[in-house]
Amino acid sequence: MHTIWKGAISFGLVHVPVKLYAATEEKEIALQLLHRNCHGSIKNQRFCPSCGTSVEQEAIIKGYPIDTNQYVTFEKEELDKIQEESSKRINIIDFIKEDQIDLMFTQKAYFLGPDTHGSNAYFLFLKALETSKRLAIGKLTLRSNTKLCVMKPLNGNCIQLATMHYANEIRPITNVPNLSNSTSIDENQLKLALQIVKGMSGKSDIASLSNPEQERLQAAIQSKIAGQQIISKPTQEAEVVIDLLEALQKSVKMSKSKSKPRQVAQNSEEKLG
């Protein structure tokens, strides 16, 4: 597994050498941009419209717009000077309970593994999190960006790390249109809705769920390779139900009918036992 970052967790006065690995990977099938006439690969080119020329990487600087065509500019060296000095440390700033963190704040998941040396400190830190039932909140400088991160024990032998948004990056819920605190809910509708929730609970194994679009594209690729034409499947029009109560009643019946075979199987097992 490729090491993304190498450093240490600062845990009080304890120094925990660690390595960071990506816990997830994109499984999207990459399709290249091609020229229809000759199938040549289309290249993205950095181009300056003011000069009308292509621009090499070394001729590019960064700028913050302050007015039309006016920028405060920065060289790479200037940006490096304002980076956090502790770029090789994850500085712990707090320990919190799991229910204190909102999932909206989390970004990307990583595995945090022990370095070649210092594994005792790593497993001590992991056990402290596990025993205290706490998550560690820290700051991590990754690719020149200082990020908040949260760490939690995983499977008893690994630490999972997730980068987090800062509070000012979360849009206020008041921006969402049509929200109301005074909506009245019909008790019969709520009862039926809760039956649907109960009937559909615990039936899915998240680990076994796959991306249907990815599977269809992979099948289309194989069909093309085999010289077959792609045949579109007929679309099934959803039944339009105007009445909410009617929709709930039909949904309850559907959830009950889907759960019957499993209940029969369970009863058979009980009789056999």
pLDDT, tens digit (0-9, with 9 covering 90-100), for 148-203: 999 999 999 999 999 999 999 998 888 888 888 888 888 888 898 898 888 878 76
Q: Which structure tokens are listed for 218?
A: 């992979």
Calpha distance 61→73 (Å, rounded): 7
pLDDT at position 265 is 40
The end-to-end CA distance of the chain, in Å, is: 47
pLDDT at position 232 is 65
Q: Which structure tokens are listed for 150?
A: 């949260």
Average pLDDT of span 116-128: 91
Main-chain phi, psi angles of 86, to 5 degrees:
-85, 55
**What is residue 236's DSSP assignment?**
P
pLDDT band at 266 (very low <50, low <70, confident <90, very high): very low
Residues in Cβ contact with 17 at an 8 Å cutoff, skipping those fewer than 6 apart? 7, 8, 114, 115, 116, 117, 118, 121, 122
pLDDT at position 268 is 39
- Tens-place pLDDT, residues 10-26: 877 778 999 999 998 87
Q: Cβ–Cβ contacts within 10 Å for residue 234, how many?
A: 6
> Do residues 159 and 127 lie in contact, with contact meaning Cβ atoms separated by under 8 Å?
no
Calpha distance 118→269 (Å, rounded): 51
pTM of the predicted model, to two decimals?
A: 0.69
Of the two residues 272 and 24, the one the predictor is more confident about is 24
> Do residues 154 and 184 lie in contact, with contact meaning Cβ atoms separated by under 8 Å?
no
| Triad 117, 142, 132: Cα angle to 5° | 60
> Do residues 24 and 33 lie in contact, with contact meaning Cβ atoms separated by under 8 Å?
no
> Do residues 14 and 95 lie in contact, with contact meaning Cβ atoms separated by under 8 Å?
no
- What region, left, alpha or beta, does residue 99 occupy, with left being phi > 0 and alpha being psi -120 to 50 degrees? alpha
| 5-11/89-96 β-pairing | parallel
What percent of the chain has pLDDT above 90? 33
Residue type, position 149, single letter: C
pLDDT band at 137 (very low <50, low <70, confident <90, very high): very high
Nearest to 9, CA basis, from 1, 19, 23: 19
Calpha distance 127→113 (Å, rounded): 14
- Tens-place pLDDT, residues 55-114: 988 999 999 998 888 999 998 888 877 776 656 889 999 999 989 988 889 999 999 999
pLDDT at position 207 is 74
